[in-house]
Amino acid sequence: MKIPSLQIGRKLVDTPIIQGGMAVSISTAELAAAVANQGGIGVVGGTGLSMEALRRQMREARDATKGILGLNIMVAAREFKDAVLVALKEKVDVVIAGAGFSRDVFSICKEWKTPVITMVSSVKVARLAERLGAAAVIVEGCDAGGHLGTEEKTSDLLPAICEAVSIPVIAAGGFVDGQDIGRMLELGAAGVQLGTRFLLSDECTVHKDFKSLLINAKASDLVRIISPVGLPANALNTPLVKKHLAQDSSIRPKTCNGCLKHCSHAFCIRDALLKASQEGDYERGLFFTGKRYPDISAVEPVKKIFNDLLEGTRDYLNRTLVQEPSR
């Protein structure tokens, strides 16, 4: 059985795989271009970057690929609109908005004739997104890394949302292999988004200690927290996280640059994410990850990851076809 392509507005994506837009210098130009070159949607994570840094990232990615590039940006970020406009001026192919819901992004992107994908976790929000003009929605369940909008699994949310809207529905949250992709396609998804699997790639520019920590961590090392953004999130249980869970006031920031529209100031999430991505700082870093990281055994090139994902997806889809009873 042939793996279907993915239609996002006027863009036809050869392979129905989107690379997660992991924020604060994880999903950078090198990773996004590598994924786009394999026929998926490569995504630059815009949250936590200055506008000049984002501009450089978008240009570097575009210079390195003729494939399809996206911007992922948190609605919760104070410079949300500015980041969207920077990416649009750099001819981004698709804008992905999460960690909140913005009506403005639809009118902005409509002017630029650029499709919008929104992250959703309910039928109600998926229908609203379609009505406002979303080209697709990403259904992200509780097994994803980073900020979460639901306590339900993607596989439980997906069928009802696929039934409720006519635009493509993309599954996200805790997927690492071709079998996962095949299962989601069978449930009605038009594509699948993977984050942690691409974080653990050669082309991802996070600090080597971040990758090593994930490769060696046990499933029991993951905890659920409420981040300063106000949303639940999956993170490794590092010393910073332990202090946060204990409501230790010593980690509260001394200064604040107001990067978020709303923040609890329990700790500086931008600094903590940078400590993780740029320094691999176990003591002071915040390491977001999807729940399935124990199922990833090695850091590999994006090309090999893609080949394995596609081979696994074909094997799964062909096996289910063979197993169907004859009529």
**3-state DSSP call for residue 67?**
coil
Label residues 175-186 b or e (16+ Cβ within 10 Å = b): bbbbbbbbbbbe
**What span, in angstroms and rounded, lies between the C-alpha atoms of 228 and 238?**
16
pLDDT digits (tens, 9 = 90+) for 176-225: 999 999 999 999 999 999 999 999 999 999 999 999 999 999 999 999 99
Domains of the chain: residue spans and CATH: 6-205 (3.20.20.70), 208-293 (no CATH)
**What span, in angstroms and rounded, lies between the C-alpha atoms of 266 and 253?**
8
Q: How far is CA 35 from the centre of its chain?
A: 13
**What span, in angstroms and rounded, lies between the C-alpha atoms of 241 and 30?**
29
Q: Burial, 152: exposed, middle or buried (Cβ in 10 Å; 0-12, 13-18, 19+)?
A: middle
**What span, in angstroms and rounded, lies between the C-alpha atoms of 325 and 42?**
39
With contact defined as beta carbons under 8 Å apart, do 31 and 203 qualify? yes
According to DSSP, the β-strands at 191-194 and 169-172 are: parallel
With contact defined as beta carbons under 8 Å apart, do 116 and 138 qualify? no
pLDDT digits (tens, 9 = 90+) for 265-323: 998 999 999 999 999 999 999 999 999 999 999 999 999 999 999 999 999 999 855 55
pLDDT digits (tens, 9 = 90+) for 106-150: 999 999 999 999 999 999 999 999 999 999 999 999 999 878 888
